Structure 1
Amino acid sequence: MIYNLDKINEMAEGDQDFITSVISVFLEEVPIDLEGLEKAIAERDYENVYKLAHKIKPNVDLLGMEQTRAIALEIETLGKNADNMTQIEEKFPVLKKDVLQVVAELQKDFNL
């Protein structure tokens, strides 16, 4: 398991519906953002690379995915400059793998 619910549990104060809601939003939004990020990288659209990495970052942070958050931050920072696309292309597969793994784990763990 590469996710951790400590931050969500702290926010939820025992409200299981809140936890399920946060997980559901993650499962709905992050795969779409990840797909958009992959497309932006393929199209060398560094402005959207920056925006989408920025959008993904707090979602993975909320799930305690520190390594994934760090990679999203790197991609976000690199996305500020079109000259960094090669580095972004090198880092993206790790982000994608981690996010897809967590999506599968969350779907299984929460029956969503």
Structure 2
Amino acid sequence: MEQHYKLHRLQELADNDQEFILALASTFIEEVPSDAKVLKIAVENKNYLLTYQTAHKMKPTVDMFELGILDDLIEVQDWGKFEQTDKDITEKLNIVLDAVDKATKEIIQDFNL
């Protein structure tokens, strides 16, 4: 089974402190899925500022858990930052949302959250 997140950076940061890793996994579950929902609605409504702010907020956690979508998330963020009205960001948004959904389900299962 393909894993949709990695813990290498997290383990290094936490010095393998399992309680700390669990706390960060819990924070991921509490924040990232709801941020992803906000991001989806912001893009759908062409709310550029909220798109930028939400994507920017998600970047450190997405990077820390190595979801493999940082570049896609940055494209969504930049779409909002620079109000790229002539660009369709839907494909990149869907990549981000799909990865967040898969990683969330996996983290919940792996950490019994």
Mark yes or no: TM-score above 0.5.
Answer: yes
Report the Cα offset of residue 86 of structure 1.
Answer: 4.2
Superposition deviation, residue 81 in structure 1: 2.6
Aligned-pair RMSD on alpha carbons? 1.3
**For 2:86 and 2:34, how far apart are their aligned partners in 1?**
21
The reply to whether residue 51 of structure 1 matches residue 80 of structure 2 is: no
Alignment: residue pair count: 111
Runs of 4+ more than 2 Å apart: 81-87
Cα displacement string for residues 45-91 of structure 1 (whole angstroms, at most 9, x for unaligned residues): 0111011111111111001123x111111111121233347422231
Unaligned 5+ residue runs, structure 1? none
Give per-residue Cα distances to partners, 1:8-57, cap 9 Å, x unaligned. 10011121100000000000000111011111112110111011111111
Identical pairs, percent: 34
Gaps of 5+ in 2: none
State the partner residue of 1:40.
42
* Preserved CA contact (<8 Å) 1:44 1:85: no
